[in-house]
A and B are shown apart, each in its own frame.
Chain A
């Protein structure tokens, strides 16, 4: 499905600000995998997602979806395979367009956009049905400007827009982090049900360890541009947040020790 091979990304190479964001990262996602990604700030989580979505070019390594390399594909072309929800609830929707217009835009993901009406009667019925599953009452406000919605509503809509065309890969970039706890919980629940409904191969970055353990069938932990821990479904099911913290401290300590020894 998604195959990442030895990807490296360095920001500001050759300057005093040089920073290795990803250091020889390899990762394979199987169809239907729901992987949660945790790690401290600057661990490379967001960079990894930007590499997959094509927002930033890869320095070296390869990235393929369904067996074919997409490394040189620009972001808008890769969007045919990759759906994405951003951390900022404002980022995933067009505020001046209506709910149904936003959905119509998302419906054409990866397809030609011609001179057919964007919102037809048939599409509107489909949108209504999809919005019903959010249980936010948005199905009755199809013509409302998205800019009028709350952050939580916009993020739920973004999630729907990123997923309802069933892209090969769904990327979630701390998409609940900017919401209040109640809204975050709502969007988390929606994420769970939407991913399950469409069997989406998903990569979700989160700061919330409890959430990372609760969702998905696999968990990876990143640190300083590398994947330092990869937990499978079986082990993940019995893991607790303290376990995870202990694991992190152990690996981090070990890596520091190694460096100290080598130094």
Chain B
């Protein structure tokens, strides 16, 4: 249970990256399946080669940002459909990740990683490490909140919301799109680097199906916690990532095996997408809106 919370908070970083593309930019980016592993692979190989863990982790994040940049350039300059651009980068990354790692699995068991101090102090799996991971996820969340409210961040939000309008106001939307994809995949790769150190290995297949985990976190989190503004929406994303891990935890406890988890993820996303449309979950959002409606000025409420 504690491990599920820890994992959920770590995966929250990845979910924040997916949130940036999927919700803010309105772009379904499949690059994450590859860039997550790239982050893990780069960090793991560097650590094994003696690079200090913090530096290796940052390098992992940077390599993911480059992957996002490639997808962005394919999509904007190459005018390749967004889904296809993501798939192309993702598939290409499979080979690149194997090249980086040299083999399909890199164990980190006796290496000095970011998790080593925690493990040595016996904190992993306890309240303190959960708190630490929560703080880490929240720091990134607040950084994103801030970034999105700057002049540059607003133009990114507008790129996903009304591209024609923001171009007519002088924003090069190709640039904002590429930048967002780079930041998003940078976060995803950062998460990959951290997960590799947390679980003690990097594996070439660790990113498979990850986009669904990200989407599930974003959609489930925002269905439960709401998305009235950036502050709540990004918080909900982390919440969604934790909920997702708890669902997996209980599914495993109920006798399903880890190989069933991809199916569970897919079903979770389908359910989160369809149930509100069929009116099943409608009652939950409406309860939420009633609560929030009381908190805001009445003239905002009517069209909500």
Contacts and interface: CB of A to CB of B under 8 A. Distances in A.
Interface of A: 53, 74-77, 79-80, 83-84, 86, 90-97, 101, 104-106, 108-111, 113-119, 141, 144-145, 147-148, 161-162
Contact of B170 (A79, A95, A96, A141): A79
Interface residues of B, number: 27
Consensus secondary structure, chain A interface? loop
Interface in B89-120: none
Given A94-B162, A119-B149, A161 B169 contact: yes
Nearest to A96: B161
Contacts of B154: 97, 101, 104-105, 113, 118
A97 B158 contact: yes
Interface in B146-160: 147, 149-155, 157-158
Given A75-B167, A94-B165, A117-B151, 6 more contacts: A83-B168, A91-B162, A97-B158, A105-B158, A118-B149, A144-B300
Given A84-B168, A161-B169, A96 B151 contact: no
Given A93-B162, A94-B162, A95-B162, A105 B155 contact: yes
Contacts, number: 98
A110 B162 CA distance: 18
Contacts of B173: 76
Contacts of A105: 154-155, 158, 166, 169, 171
Interface of B: 147, 149-155, 157-158, 161-162, 164-173, 299-300, 302-304
A113 B161 contact: no
B258 to A, nearest CB: 38
Given A75-B167, A79-B167, A97-B158, A148 B300 contact: yes
A146 B171 CA distance: 20
B168 A104 contact: no
A62 B172 CA distance: 23
A172 B274 CA distance: 42
Contacts of B164: 86, 91
Nearest to A149: B303
B170 A77 contact: yes
B169 A97 contact: no
A147 B165 CA distance: 14
A161 B166 CA distance: 11
Contacts of B299: 141, 144
B132 to A, nearest CB: 28
A94 B161 contact: yes
